[in-house]
Amino acid sequence: MTTDTAPVGGASAPLAEPVLEASGVVMRFGGLTAVNKVDLTVRQGEIVGLIGPNGAGKTTFFNCLTGLYVPTEGTVTYKGRVLPPRPHLVTEAGIARTFQNIRLFSNMTVLENVLVGRHTRTKEGLFSAILRGPSYRRAEQESRDRAMELLEFCGLAAKAEHLARNLPYGEQRKLEIARALASEPGLLLLDEPTAGMNPQETRAAEELVFAIRDLGIAILVIEHDMKFIFNLCDRTAVLVQGQKIVEGDRETVQNDERVVTAYLGAPLEGTTATEADQ
């Protein structure tokens, strides 16, 4: 690692508690090193961006964080606890995610999708479902209320009984976020939340992300839309060929020669960094 990873602008303010700490994460597939010694820290109340050209290893890194892959080397800790390498345990610990290509339960209703997200926060097993005692009914009702609140929060309450597959694209993205929020996470991982969105929808997504941050949930977001990233994020890390080459605020990233090279190749005469935004 060649770059100073201390967050710029955090120098004066006291640093918040770190939520997620990834240190020296390496992921090898046979001879291919997809992620190479990446360190990343996300603190309480922060929105951190992760950008990089296609194939840079962003999603692989995400999968290492969420237990879909077991990192070859390195550790990931959440609030000081080393995360077990199983997706459902990671979610239980408090990290929720969305997927790059929407992965809703498309033949379930919108409400049911969110209820599935509540799985780790509820306990009712087979027998209480069969017996349907008062405590079961109370828990089920609470789950439904909480799910409806979340749908309200994401603006989907009116469509609670629709099938997920029948929602328009933008609302499917929102539903995926609502489903992730249902697991009451402390950290939300968003994998390209605005992919395929029009400008209005992107703006709505931005507002939603800020609203989530205001709930006290830290956010790590992968994105290709630079405007979205720089509007949103307190810090941005750039991943190129599995290595983190720079991390910092907007200026640090935009003015970094290596970022420009990574996105556009070697700069020609007269090229400025801002054009790399596109």
Partner 1 sequence: MTTASHETTPVLRLPAVAAFAATLAGGVLAAASAAMSWTWTDEFPGDLTYYGSPAGLQWLALAGGLLTALLALGARGVKGLRWLSPSGGNNGVLFAALGTLAVCWYSVAAIAVELDGLVNLDPGGWVAAVGSLLAVVGALGLPLDRRRTVKQPPVAWWWYLVAAVAAVLRVGLGQGWALNAVPPGIRPIFTENLWFFVAVPVAVLGFRLWLLLDAWLRIGRIERPLPAARALPSWAEILVITAVFALGLGVVEFGISTEYGELFIAFLLLTVFATAALLASGAIARLRELTTRHRSVTTGAAFAAAGAFPFTQSSETYVLIGANILIFATVALGLNVVVGLAGLLDLGYVAFLGVGAYAAALVSGSPFSVFRGVHLPFPVAVLIGALAALVFGVVIGAPTLRLRGDYLAIVTLGFGEIFRIAMNNLDGRSGPSLTNGPNGIAAIPDVNLFGFDFGQPHEFLGLQLGKFGNYLLLMLVATAIVVVVFGRVANSRIGRAWVAIREDETAAEAMGINGFRVKLIAFALGATLAGLAGAVQAHVAGAVSPDQYLFAGPVPPNSAFLLAAVILGGMGTISGPLVGAALLFLIPAKLQFLQSYQLLAFGVALILLMRFRPEGLIANRRQQLEFHEAELPAQGASPDDALTKAGA
The site for partner 1 (CB under 8 A) is made up of 66, 68, 86-88, 91-92, 96-97, 99, 103-108, 112, 115-120, 122, 124-126, 129-130, 132, 140, 143, 159, 162-163, 165-170, 179-180, 183, 196-201
CB of 134 to partner 1, least distance (A): 15
CB of 248 to partner 1, least distance (A): 30
Based on CB atoms, which residue is closest to partner 1, 52 or 117? Answer: 117
Report the C-alpha gap between 42 and 78 in whole angstroms: 10
CB of 269 to partner 1, least distance (A): 36
Based on CB atoms, which residue is closest to partner 1, 29 or 169? Answer: 169
Residues ≥6 apart with Cβ < 8 Å to 170: 197, 198, 201, 204, 205
Based on CB atoms, which residue is closest to partner 1, 99 or 153? Answer: 99
Based on CB atoms, which residue is closest to partner 1, 163 or 264? Answer: 163
- Among the listed residues 49, 51, 48, the one whose alpha carbon sits nearest the alpha carbon of residue 18: 48
Question: Interior CA angle at 14 toward 10 and 15, to 5°?
Answer: 65
Based on CB atoms, which residue is closest to partner 1, 1 or 129? Answer: 129
Residues ≥6 apart with Cβ < 8 Å to 199: none
Report the C-alpha gap between 96 and 133 in whole angstroms: 30
Structure tokens at 35: 């992620």
Hey, which residues does 77 pair with through a beta bridge?
A: 21, 82
- Among the listed residues 219, 210, 171, the one whose alpha carbon sits nearest the alpha carbon of residue 62: 219
What single letter denotes the amino acid at residue 4?
D
Based on CB atoms, which residue is closest to partner 1, 66 or 243? Answer: 66
- Among the listed residues 53, 12, 21, the one whose alpha carbon sits nearest the alpha carbon of residue 220: 21
From the CA atom positions of the chain, what is the Rg in Å? 20
Based on CB atoms, which residue is closest to partner 1, 36 or 143? Answer: 143
34 and 232 in contact (C-beta within 8 Å)? no
Hey, which residues does 73 pair with through a beta bridge?
A: 26
Exposed, middle or buried by CB within 10 Å (0-12, 13-18, 19+), for 27? buried
State the residue for tokens 């498309």: 106
Based on CB atoms, which residue is closest to partner 1, 86 or 138? Answer: 86
212 and 24 in contact (C-beta within 8 Å)? no
